[in-house]
Structure 1
């Protein structure tokens, strides 16, 4: 690169650093902590119906790092124990990405128990909108007691994911995004027992989620479970109340011996096992997350008969 170009880059970078330092010092001296706390709490209170939020502290640290600590959401029925909690959140300028993308970018980091959500968000070049990307690491569902309360049953698992998307500033335009998601070491309490199982344990569930706004396509779904390995695809429509989110999934399960453990060895069981040697056990899952309906398609009558035999 010619020496003059290097000089322009060096001078521009120096001016950028000086501007950031001056802006950071001014913000630190004039930082409106109480006003921002009220604004943040007002915004959070509008996110989830019935949840009221509190935060312990909000502060600005040099160089230009906004830090929020102990953000907790409480239900009106229990104002002593938080239903949702973020240990801390930090937002700061992402200088490397800002230079690379030639526009303002911010990095963010949330700590929730042992889990983290971290990434960047910023301007999409010449487009009128913003892009974002990030990763979720070791986010434990037990750290979201509101989910179990709304679903009225126990949910466990450890979530990891990588995600990216775009948000347009055009009026009414939805947010487009996708996320490669993995849930490990999970247990899902069933609304109704299947054979003698009241809980579906799994070692790993993976899926690709993509869509626009709250409407998602679920693709490449795979299940690894002590009860059987399988696959699934379908649709998921998110709602502000997670329990009211709607799903429409289709899949198949290759049952392992543990799936039929405890079932009396009758002719009915033997006919099901023989049929499943050549194909997977088809299933569909539809309805809301609060009241999902599980149907075993072609094997519905046989599974129902086995359920009755166990009563």
Structure 2
């Protein structure tokens, strides 16, 4: 993790996007009303997106207080995360004040750049086996508590790790008024962990549904979306939609629903919702699906 600084930080998993690729490398993308074909490596990434942000004392106190309001069993996880995200800057300061060792400072600089990116890669490694099971329509993992929590953690990270959610938090009125924008990298990891436990504790319904329509499902730079949310007010209901491929989709709902198959009407509605909630880009396995969507 700490030998080479990673600059191209992806907030949508490339392995996931490859399921929209016919050749295993390239997919179609719509950005700024232009459709183009490109390698998945070029999509859904921002330079130094996961680079740690130095927190001031007010921001640290805010996060520490938030953690005290959470269930006792989960607090140590969040305290350790906050320690990781803050202590690295304390070490950097001590080095600068003492011997100013260039090699050590370079190592710290790499760690600041790579740490959260590695956390997201770890979530991807956790999610790989579940994504493979979902593609095979195998849901046996939901009967195992550990597996289910891991799956929900992976899914939660795919929801909260994106540029759209980062911008939404940092530009919200409450965040701007309270100077808490730098807290989001810590918060998104805290929220993902909390949500994984919450979903496990409540009775959720998980469906893998085939797209039997003539319309391929698209995905976007916000690949997991809540169909019950308006993305303005805090959601009170949950229906997570996470397309798995042009012909397969995952739904996680707070109520028992009849999901037999995705027909043409449903596929079009899902694609329009995905386009609506996307931030900069939508992705497809073919040009025509995007052209039909935007005409």
Q: Which has the higher contact order (CA 8 A, sep 6+)?
A: 2
TM-score (norm 2): 0.25
More helix by share: 2
Q: Look at both structures and tell me which one has the larger radius of gyration over its CA atoms.
A: 1
Q: TM-score, normalised by structure 1?
A: 0.24
